[in-house]
Structure 1
Amino acid sequence: MPSFTTLRFGELEYRAEDVVILPEGLVGMPQLRRWLLLDLGSDQAMKWMQSLDRGDFGFPVTQPYFFLDAYDFDLPSPAREKIGNTREDQIAVMIITTVHPGGAKVTGNMLAPLVIDTDTRKGLQLTLDGDFDLRQEINYFKFGLAVGGQSADNTAQEPAGEPAAESVGDRQDSAASAPAETVTV
């Protein structure tokens, strides 16, 4: 089994099939193409994307559901082709998240989500046009419930019906809650 040394987690063993490939890398970092999606233990609400190309680089990711009730965008055909996707139920959307100093605030980059095909394990960082926020503050109510193993689906704060972006993995019980098999640290 391959292993890799990271700054944050030390030595990690992983299976080759656990690697997520971003052929174009990230915006501003095209050289970072191989990634592991790490499960951070019992907190299923937040995961860690660890670069296999650079052991000192990674970031937290989570679902768009924790930032916006409706996060809807079209995945262009060229993007689908790049990740080898033909089925919407195999698309997971993850938001790169920033935990500000002292944990005082958590924000997500809604302008450039990660889109991953859960079958091919290929993905990309999509740059969206529109009114999305680069630093959207998280919905602490929903996030707190998720950390506690609960859902906001049955609360007064959640609108009736299905979230708008179910087709791209926005629902908590969709592929986005487990965008790819994760390696537990």
Structure 2
Amino acid sequence: MMLVKTKYFGEINLEEEKIITFASGIMGFEQYKRYTILYDLEEGDKPGISWLQSLEEQSLALPVINPFLIKSDYNPIVEDEILKEIGDITEQNLVILLSLTVPAELTKMSANLKAPFIINSDTRKGCQIIVDNQDYEVKYNVYDAMQRLKEEKGEN
């Protein structure tokens, strides 16, 4: 166990197996390599949003979301070579997260479909990549996408 200071959750005890190493860092923060994923379970109104929290820089905590919650057919095109550094990827150990931009007006919240975080849950290694999909937006509107998904499920 290690004590970690976080941006939104104060000091927390973190088990070693919850640490994810990004050998190349993440875009804009290449110097920080060690992260964990934190969930705010008390906010029931925003399911699926969690935080990628740097263990080296307390103020660095990025909101992230499972892409399949907002784009059910999300299928990033990735060069296998790029993923070699995080170990063999299988359907069971693959974790994909998208960074979110959350402005004051929530209807303008967007996800970056172009630069997902890819994590191997077995090796606890991750990388952030740029995918080759031409139609994937850097600012994909999450609010509109969630409304569409609700309509498809007949919830509106």
Runs of 4+ off more than 4 Å:
none
Cα RMSD after superposing both structures: 2.2
Of Structure 1 and Structure 2, which has the larger fraction of its residues in strand? Answer: 2
Equivalent of 1:47, from 45, 50, 71? 50
Q: By how many angstroms is 1:105 displaced?
A: 2.1
Q: By how many angstroms is 1:103 displaced?
A: 2.6
Q: By how many angstroms is 1:67 displaced?
A: 3.0
**Which structure is higher in RCO with an 8 Å CA cutoff and minimum separation 6?**
1
Alignment-mate amino acid for residue 116 of structure 2: P
Check if 1:20 corresponds to 2:20. Answer: yes
Alignment-mate amino acid for residue 140 of structure 1: M
Q: How many residues are matched?
A: 149
Q: By how many angstroms is 1:65 displaced?
A: 1.9
Taking structure 1 as the reference length, the TM-score comes to 0.72
Q: Is the 8 A contact 2:35 2:55 kept in 1?
A: yes
Alignment-mate amino acid for residue 131 of structure 2: L
> Which moves more between the two structures, 45-54 or 99-108?
99-108
Check if 1:136 corresponds to 2:134. Answer: no
- Counting only pairs closer than 5 Å after superposition, residues 13-162 of structure 1 correspond to structure 2 as 13-42=13-42, 43=44, 44-129=47-132, 130-138=134-142, 139-141=145-147, 155=153
In 2, the alpha carbon distance for the partners of 1:64 and 1:136 equals 11
Q: Is the 8 A contact 1:67 1:136 kept in 2?
A: no
Q: Is the 8 A contact 1:6 1:55 kept in 2?
A: yes
List gaps (5 residues or longer) in structure 1. 146-151, 158-185
Q: Is the 8 A contact 1:67 1:137 kept in 2?
A: no
